[in-house]
Amino acid sequence: MEVIIFCGIQASGKTTFFKENFFKTHVHISLDLLKTRHREDKFLEVCFQTQQRFVVDNTNPTKVERKKYISKAKAHKYKVTGYYFQSKLTESLERNSKRKGKENISEIGVKATFNKLEVPDLAEGFDELYYVEIGNDGFTIKEWTNEI
């Protein structure tokens, strides 16, 4: 079984990437949808109990925040794959400005996430890591290297 953990600031393409790549194969775990950590924990429990593949589609900017998912996944014998989304502040702020309603995050919120963003590392417990860029032709996925 597999858990996929997304890392990146708001409006870096995470949810669109999920829809394009994992919608038909993985449960979508997102605080944007679930609203509370309690609900998120319940969904995680069910995924682990039923051995369901899932994607954690949150910003997950710090090693501490990612550790929660990684340690639970390892305890349940899941493969852990990470996707780090290129987080260029100006581009994300521009994309975010086009969002409507609650999907539009305050500039202060996006900047706060950017300021605490820690690039993931295989040593955190990931079995695989990938780097995702958004270009004019969509997403580009690159194998992880330490130069990223």
Per-residue pLDDT tens listing for the chain (148 residues): 999 999 999 999 999 999 999 999 999 999 999 999 999 999 999 999 999 999 999 999 999 999 999 999 999 999 999 999 998 898 888 887 888 887 878 889 899 999 999 999 999 999 999 999 998 889 999 999 876 5
Helix (H, G, I), strand (E, B) or coil at 124: helix
pLDDT of residue 147: 62
Rounded distance between C-alpha atoms, residue 55 and residue 53, angstroms:
7
With respect to residue 67, please indicate whether it lies within any of the assigned structural domains.
yes
pLDDT of residue 28: 98
CA Rg, the chain, in Å? 15
Please count the other Cβ atoms lying within 10 Å of the Cβ belonging to residue 80: 22
With respect to residue 123, please indicate whether it lies within any of the assigned structural domains.
yes
pTM: 0.92
Indicate which CATH number applies to the domain containing 25: 3.40.50.300
Structural domain harbouring 26: 2-143
With respect to residue 86, please indicate whether it lies within any of the assigned structural domains.
yes
With respect to residue 49, please indicate whether it lies within any of the assigned structural domains.
yes
With respect to residue 148, please indicate whether it lies within any of the assigned structural domains.
no
With respect to residue 109, please indicate whether it lies within any of the assigned structural domains.
yes
Structural domains of the chain, count: 1
Quick check: 79 and 1 in contact, CB under 8 A?
A: yes
pLDDT of residue 64: 97
Beta bridge partners of residue 56, listed in sequence order: 5, 29
pLDDT of residue 100: 84
